[in-house]
Structure 1
Amino acid sequence: MRGGVRLAVLALLWGSTFLWIELALRGLSPLQVTFVRCLLGALVLTVACYASGRRLPRGRTVWRHIVVAAFFCNALPFALFSLGQQTVDSGLAGVLNATTPLWSIALGLALGSEHGLRPVRLTGLLLGFAGTILILAPWQSAGATGWGALAILGAAASYAVAFTYMGRTLVRRGTPTISLSAAQLVAASGLTAVALPVGGLESIDPGPVVVVAALVLSVFCTAITFHLTYRIINDEGATNAAVVGYLLPVVSVLLGAVVLGEGLSARVVLGMAVVLVGVGMTRRKDPTATAPARTGEAQAQAQAQEEEEAQESHASPRSKTRIPQ
């Protein structure tokens, strides 16, 4: 139940991201939007980290992993979304981002972590994909999406890479998720700042709508959402974290229609219903599982992590130690 609530909150916040990006782009460039959401998000999580008695991680090993994760999970996809939404509606952006679970499954199969994917869950993933296709209706909008759509698809694929990488290298190593999420946004802020001279030095138009959109995007849709994502990866595995992408079309399309006046047809409503059914199927637990607190993927990742740490420390199974964080 707790995981389901986190998933629902994450979907609502994450799904509204595309609306706030659309509004923030009215006065900021794509790279400026990316930098602001990373910087303010990092500030919020860093304050929350130290207020809770935690601190940022230490050690070169963990920070190398954090920088790689920050690139694929924050700096790159945030920039691609802002670039893509210059020509793509917010609702359509949410639909295209819903391909993240498919990229995640493909990576899982390639890396061997999804070799035991159950038929019901696989059917749910395919059904969710069918729902997103029904919403997108490429047979009706061929040629209309262009490079913006490709940029958003690239962002979705980048998320899948990041979720898998974070699940294998950062979570379940003893470092609190609030510390990891804060550190990752700090790293993403640095990476984005380096790119600002390329396209982030244009004049800005900080009107009230732009300022509010930037604040909501940074605090709620970046800081809080990113921390919830880390918690889901930590508790349920990378693929389950990516499954939330199937709920994004429902939120993004509805908000786009209500707030921005974007189109909403019977076909789109039907597609969203199919998406929800698919998500329900992917969230089903295996009744034969002996450790309900962890998915099979999580167990495999934990075992692989322990073997890797044992090799790195050249220790026997009885005397191996954790890599310093």
Structure 2
Amino acid sequence: MSSEPKLLPLQFAALALAWGSSFLFIKIGLEGLSPMQVVTARMGIGALALLAILVMQGVRLPRSAQFWGHITMVSVFLCILPFSLFAWAGQFISSGLSSIFNATTPLMTLLVTLVALRTERPNRLQLIGLALGLMGALVVLAPWRMLGPENLAPLTAQLACLGATASYGVAFVYLRKFVSPLALPTVAVATAQVGVGAVVLVGALPLSGQPPMLLTPSVVASMLSLGIAGTGLAYIWNTNIVAGWGANVASSVTYLAPVVGVALGVLILGESVAWNQPIGALGVIAGIMITRRLPRIRTSVI
């Protein structure tokens, strides 16, 4: 996968589109698949795409038992658990709202860092940014709208999205602490973590009593797009952008992904947007911008 400077703007735009549209594809996939079937298709197709890139680049997967133990933990917290929570939540809330909650990932990573990495302590400005971002997430959550039993499912779905981003936070900190020091090629790490998750899910699918699949053209196309772009190529694009432009510029895709997600949900699915959602999203984005003004704590989004 080329990382020539002239291609970086295209890769940046593709990355924002891939991650921003992921929740649209999940929503469409749920029209013919169960949440577990959506996640299994995403992981399986993504693993095949990454494996093809691995072979084309001539990179080998590590053989160390220590690596595979760590990468299994990463796969659980970076892929299986959050992908499953987002897919389940997509049954009850809009794709745009899911994409807004996904933007809290850097804040959740910082929150986990406070507990897990004593050597990376945030400064006062970063704590202010964290508080602002979490307040923004609370505005998006809109607890004042959740009175009554008919709102229990949407509220639980939104909390599931926050649980997914918290899982991302755990995964990124675990990656930094146990996998990054191994200095392995990114495509090998990505292929291993997605591949392990795919094997686990494919093995569990026949045992979980899933309903019959309705493989319409739109469902198939959405799963191919979600697997190849959102779960496969996006890893490579992100790595190229970090290498070419630096981590701070690469991290700004976090600001664009929810805008793409909300816009696609409105334009393609006809979803509505409540007043509190863009206001809360601005609070989340402002909090992320403040926490990243001083790069002592690095966070990533997938």
Judge same fold: TM > 0.5, yes or no: yes
Is 1:97 aligned to residue 102 of structure 2?
Answer: yes
Letter in 2 for 1:134: V
CA deviation string 1:130-186 (max 9, x = no partner): 333333322224445143233323222211111111111112422100111011111
Cα distance, 1:241–1:128 mapped onto 2, change above 3 Å? farther
Counterpart of 1:301 in structure 2 is: none
Counterpart of 1:55 in structure 2 is: 60
Cα distance, 1:39–1:238 mapped onto 2, change above 3 Å? farther
CA contact (8 A) 2:104 2:284 kept: no
Q: How many Å separate the matches in 2 of 1:113 and 1:281?
A: 21
- The counterpart of 1:124, out of the listed 111, 114, 129, is 129
- The counterpart of 1:263, out of the listed 261, 272, 283, is 272
Cα distance, 1:139–1:131 mapped onto 2, change above 3 Å? same
CA contact (8 A) 2:47 2:232 kept: yes
Aligned counterparts, 1:128-143, within 5 A: 128-142=133-147, 143=152
Is 1:167 aligned to residue 167 of structure 2?
Answer: no
Cα distance, 1:217–1:97 mapped onto 2, change above 3 Å? same
Is 1:34 aligned to residue 44 of structure 2?
Answer: no
CA contact (8 A) 2:137 2:280 kept: yes
Counterpart of 1:308 in structure 2 is: none
TM-superposed deviation, 1:86: 1.2
Aligned counterparts, 1:1-325, within 5 A: 10-113=15-118, 116-142=121-147, 143=152, 145-199=154-208, 201-227=210-236, 248-285=257-294, 296-297=296-297
CA contact (8 A) 1:171 1:177 kept: no
Q: How many Å separate the matches in 2 of 1:181 and 1:95?
A: 24
Q: How many Å separate the matches in 2 of 1:66 and 1:90?
A: 29
Cα distance, 1:237–1:151 mapped onto 2, change above 3 Å? farther
Q: How many Å separate the matches in 1 of 2:270 and 2:116?
A: 42
Counterpart of 1:318 in structure 2 is: none
After alignment, is 10-19 or 207-216 more displaced?
Answer: 10-19
CA contact (8 A) 1:42 1:186 kept: yes
After alignment, is 80-89 or 276-285 more displaced?
Answer: 276-285
Counterpart of 2:4 in structure 1 is: none
After alignment, is 177-186 or 234-243 more displaced?
Answer: 234-243
Task: Answer with 1 or 2: which has the greater Rg.
Answer: 1
Letter in 2 for 1:94: S
Cα distance, 1:173–1:115 mapped onto 2, change above 3 Å? closer
Cα distance, 1:297–1:78 mapped onto 2, change above 3 Å? same
What number of residue pairs does the alignment pair up? 288
CA deviation string 1:265-308 (max 9, x = no partner): 454333333443333323223xxxxxxxxx5457xxxxxxxxxx
Cα distance, 1:159–1:26 mapped onto 2, change above 3 Å? same
Letter in 1 for 2:208: G
CA contact (8 A) 1:163 1:241 kept: no
Task: Give TM-score scaled by structure 2 length.
Answer: 0.81
Q: Decide which structure has greater helix share.
A: 2
CA RMSD in angstroms comes to 3.4
After alignment, is 63-72 or 239-248 more displaced?
Answer: 239-248
Q: How many Å separate the matches in 2 of 1:284 and 1:296?
A: 9
